[in-house]
Structure 1
Amino acid sequence: MTRKMERTSPFLTAFKGNIGILAVLVLLFVALALTSPVFLTEDNLITVLRQISINVFLALGMTLIIILAGIDLSVGAVVALTGTLTVGFIVNAGIPLVPAILLGLLIGTVVGFLNGCIVSWFKLPAFIVTLATMNVAQGIAYLYSGGQSVRITNDAYTTIGTGQLFGFLPLPVLYMFVLIFIFSVLLNKTKFGTYVYAIGGNREAARLSGVPIKKVEIAVYTITGFLAAFAGIVLSARMYSGQPSVGQGYEMDAIAACVLGGVSMAGGRGRISGTVLGAMVIGVISNGLNLLGVSSFWQLVVKGIIILIAILVDAQKGKRLNFSFKFAKN
């Protein structure tokens, strides 16, 4: 009996920690099921999963960064950059498929590595550093493509974003499930994950404990760059083109997913499960508003309000935790 409880305790912990966002998700499902007969159909639910997959790719890396008390505003631009360049390598430069994809992944990884090095070595605010690299990445994508989308008809490439497993499960959704599992293990079952939480919770205490802060920070930003590159390649394959304008606002969706899922902007707190549920909430809201015929402009307003509410809730949680800590000390 005890062993069984030990095996299920992580799931129970995740459930209890995400009870609020789970309740919101259930309410959304009920409300949309009552207002749209299409919402609960199999095709639409698979569409929702496909739509949130890109956001989840980005949000997984963003979760690590925010737990470190950092931020990365460049991920959306890296999506556009890697998608555009990878397609361009294949179509315009005639580079074979696999080397072109590896080059695209390398470019995104290098952007993340540079972000991490600058933030860690020069101790500059991550907001400013990644804002700068966001503009650089976006500018390179436009310069390379001349502001035009680059069309691709290579079946082997487009299958990356449009293929299905067993005839019904989209490959991007499969990638999403695999990455969720990998990052859950990385954050909860490895020394690296322990270091991430330690740095975000108390940087000075982590340093005194011998945590290699610079190496961990660089690794986290590098991983996030890789995930953004992967998202860019999958998205360009799904759209049959590399588009320099794509990816705008993706960083905000990733941040919103993290904050909605309980990742603290102050650092040191957060779960992969919460981030995934946060991405689900955003995806369900967007899908529901589309089904109801709500303007995309209003959708931006709704997303902004959601982010604001989530940040306010996070701030109140932080105040309660600080009060509890002070009370315990006294």
Structure 2
Amino acid sequence: MRTTTDRAVKQRSSAHGDATAANAQTVPVRGRGAGGGGVAGIAAKAFRAVPGPLLGLIAVMIVFSVLSPYFLTGRNLSNIVTQNADIGIMAVGAALVILIGGIDLSVGSTLALSLMTSAWLYRSAGLPFELCVVVGLLVGAGVGFVNGVLSTYGRIQPFVATLATMSAAAGLALYLTNGNPINGFPEWYLAITSEDILGIPLEAIILVGTYLLAAYWLRFRPSGRALYAIGGNAEVARLSGLNVTRIKIGVYVVAGFLAALAGVIVGSRLDSAQPTAGTADLLNVIAVVVIGGASLSGGSGGMLNTFIGLLIIGVLNNGMSLLNVSPNLQPVVIGIAIIVAVLTDRASRARHT
């Protein structure tokens, strides 16, 4: 009896040892797979860590550098940034609004109204131009305040509210001077887009500084982090103690102010205040934010990807101009880029869920 029991115990021990050895042999095999710690796995993880918009920017730059020998010149790359500084500044405000689940269609018209207000006060009222610029910035912030009040206290959908202010601001910009442009501004104003600091154009410094300030606010300030909470679920954010209404109005004010700041850039670059300035930039502004990966439903997005989206739009417009693509076809390419960006972002989110 005892001999039989000992034999059974040994058999079970031997079987257990064989199973353990087999398991031990299979563990390294799994670790060397594509999802493990091998070279392929590390490369795949590194590739996934790279922002999607950055990969798109690299691809577009490679294509245009092959198609045009003038694309990768230092002067041309500098022009891509400076020529899109106004769009980039407006895109910061638009991204903040989209982050809280809203939309601002009035940024272009706000630019025009603030610029025409400054020029009209300077030419007709004879006020110091420094004061006129400040008033123009306040006008932009005022339009943003109206947008915020209409979409919060008025409970009007942001799309409808900003569509109304877009129309009103565009009409007022034309009314101030009966549709006529105003030219001839002080030298210090023109220097904003003609001077450089240590070889860097001043308007590029303003552009990058705007993005850095917005990124710092979103990343390190509680009021900036609150934007993600509001965009994710405004009711939950309110129950958590956040003053959702005040924050939303504040974001729209910031967006209006930045649109007016973009108007300063445009007026300085052209040495002229045009009542239709900026009104055609809405597509590019929204495209920058969407291509940058911001979700139109709110709660996701950031300044780094928005800046990359700006560079993608700038490279597309610049490259198509170098290749003599018809200006009538360029918006078609931008529209396709928006669709591709949205589909790519949706596929990426599906893979991570």
> Retained in 2: the 8 A contact 1:85–1:242?
no
**2:38 maps to what in 1?**
none
> Deviation string for 1:20-60 (max 9, x for gaps)?
21111111111111111111111111100101211110111
> How high is the TM-score relative to the length of structure 1?
0.89
- 2-side partners of 1:29 and 1:261: how far apart? 16
Aligned residue number for residue 63 of structure 2? 31
Question: What do the CA deviations read for 1:276-296 (whole angstroms, capped 9, x no partner)?
Answer: 000100000000000111111
Cα distance in 2, alignment partners of residues 256 and 183 from structure 1: 19
State the distance in 1 between where 2:229 and 2:73 align: 43
Matched residue type, 1:231: A
**Deviation sequence 1:48-79 (CA, Å, 0-9, x none):** 01012111101111111111111000000011
Tell whether the 8 Å contact from 1:84 to 1:241 is kept in structure 2 after alignment. no
* Structure 1 range deviating more: 296-305 or 15-24: 15-24
Structure 2: distance between partners of 1:77 and 1:224: 12
In the other structure, the counterpart of 1:42 is 74
CA contact (8 A) 2:85 2:265 kept: no
2:286 maps to what in 1? 255
Deviation of residue 310 (structure 1)? 2.4
Structure 1 match to 2:163: 131
Q: Which sits farther off after the overlay, 122-131 or 154-163?
A: 154-163
Pairwise CA distance, 1:315: 4.3
| Range 90-99 or range 290-299, more displaced | 90-99
Aligned residues: 309
1:55 aligned partner:
87
Q: What secondary structure does 2:208 align onto?
A: helix
2:190 pairs with 1:158: yes
1:78 corresponds in structure 2 to 110
1:169 corresponds to which residue? 200
Give yes or no for contact 1:72–1:127 (8 Å, CA) kept in 2: yes
Equivalent-residue separation in structure 2 for 1:17 and 1:137 (angstroms): 42
Q: Secondary structure at the match of 1:122?
A: coil
Residue 90 (structure 1) aligned with residue 113 (structure 2) = no
Q: Which residue of 2 aligns with 1:99?
A: 131
| Aligned residue in 1 for 2:303 | 272
Give CA deviations for 1:103-123 in whole Å, capped at 9, x if unaligned: 000000000011011111122
SS of match in other structure, 1:92: helix
Taking the aligned partners of 1:112 and 1:17, their CA distance within structure 2 comes to 36
On the 8 A contact 1:55/1:254 being kept in 2, the answer is yes
User: What SS class does the counterpart of residue 249 from structure 1 fall into?
Assistant: coil
Q: Residue 343 of structure 2 corresponds to which residue in structure 1? A: 312
SS at match of 1:297: coil
The answer to whether the 8 Å contact 1:109/1:223 transfers is yes
Letter in 1 for 2:202: L
User: Quick check: 1:84–1:236 contact (8 Å CA) kept in 2?
Assistant: no
Aligned partners of 2:60 and 2:346: how far apart in 1?
A: 24
Which residue does the alignment assign to 1:203? 234
- Please state whether the residue corresponding to 1:172 is helix, strand or coil: helix
Could you report, residue by residue, the CA deviation over 1:103-149 in whole angstroms, capped at 9, with x for unpaired residues? 00000000001101111112211000000000111001111121121
2:243 equivalent to 1:212: yes
Distance 1:103 1:254, change over 3 A: same
User: Who is 1:188 aligned against?
Assistant: 219
Mapped partners of 2:351, 2:180: distance in 1: 50
Output the amino acid matched with 1:72. Answer: D
SS in 2 for 1:38: coil
CA contact (8 A) 1:82 1:229 kept: yes
CA distance, structure 2, for counterparts of residue 105 and residue 41 of structure 1: 35
**Range with greater deviation from structure 2 (111-120 or 168-177):** 168-177
SS of residue in 1 equivalent to 2:88: helix
Q: Which runs of 5+ in 1 are unaligned?
A: 1-12, 325-330
CA distance in 2, matches of 1:248, 1:304: 17
CA RMSD of aligned residues (A): 1.9
Q: TM-score, normalised by structure 2?
A: 0.84
* 2:205 maps to amino acid: L
